[in-house]
């Protein structure tokens, strides 16, 4: 059983640019969530996808958007990058109807300069 994999592991972007982060969910999982973890903070919920549709969203602006594909993998897109977007971005997968928590990937460290 493979876990959650994220790519790339590290990324440096310039303010104003756009970035796409990718996630492959754990085998058997059909729901994907994205979290932002700033340095020294707990993860903050960005949004969740189920059946290729957004299924819940946290307090993040529209320039944060996502996709889920038929194989349950997912992308997080961030437009017009700001310095405060520098963080660890975590993808988590789960099974709809499941109650045993989420499986997290190792994250993508995004630095905006």
Partner 1 sequence: GEDVEQSLFLSVREGDSSVINCTYTDSSSTYLYWYKQEPGAGLQLLTYIFSNMDMKQDQRLTVLLNKKDKHLSLRIADTQTGDSAIYFCAESIMNYGGSQGNLIFGKGTKLSVKP
Q: How many CB atoms neighbour CB 85 within 10 A?
A: 20
If binding is defined by CB under 8 A, does position 33 make contact with partner 1? yes
Within 74-113, the residues that bind partner 1 by CB under 8 A are: 90, 92, 94, 96-107
3-class SS of residue 97: coil
If binding is defined by CB under 8 A, does position 64 make contact with partner 1? no
DSSP state for residue 43 in the 8-state scheme:
-
If binding is defined by CB under 8 A, does position 66 make contact with partner 1? no
Shortest CB 16 distance to partner 1, Å? 28
Neighbour order of strands in the sheet with 5-7: 5-7, 19-24, 74-78, 64-68
Among 16, 28, 56, 61, binds partner 1 (CB under 8 A): 56
CA R_g for the chain? 13
Q: Which residues bind partner 1 (CB under 8 A)?
A: 4, 31, 33, 35, 40-45, 48, 56, 58, 90, 92, 94, 96-107
């Amino acid at each position: 059983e493979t876990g959650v994999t994220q790519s790339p592991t590290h990324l440096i972007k310039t303010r104003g640019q756009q970035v796409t982060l990718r996630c492959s969910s754990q085998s058997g999982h059909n729901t994907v969530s994205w979290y932002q973890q700033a340095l020294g903070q707990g993860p903050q919920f960005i949004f969740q996808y189920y059946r290729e549709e957004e299924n819940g969203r946290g307090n993040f602006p529209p320039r944060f958007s996502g996709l889920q594909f038929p194989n349950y993998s997912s992308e997080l897109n961030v437009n017009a990058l700001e310095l405060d977007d520098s963080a660890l971005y975590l993808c988590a997968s789960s099974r709809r109807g499941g109650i045993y928590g989420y499986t997290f990937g190792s994250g993508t460290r995004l630095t905006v300069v």
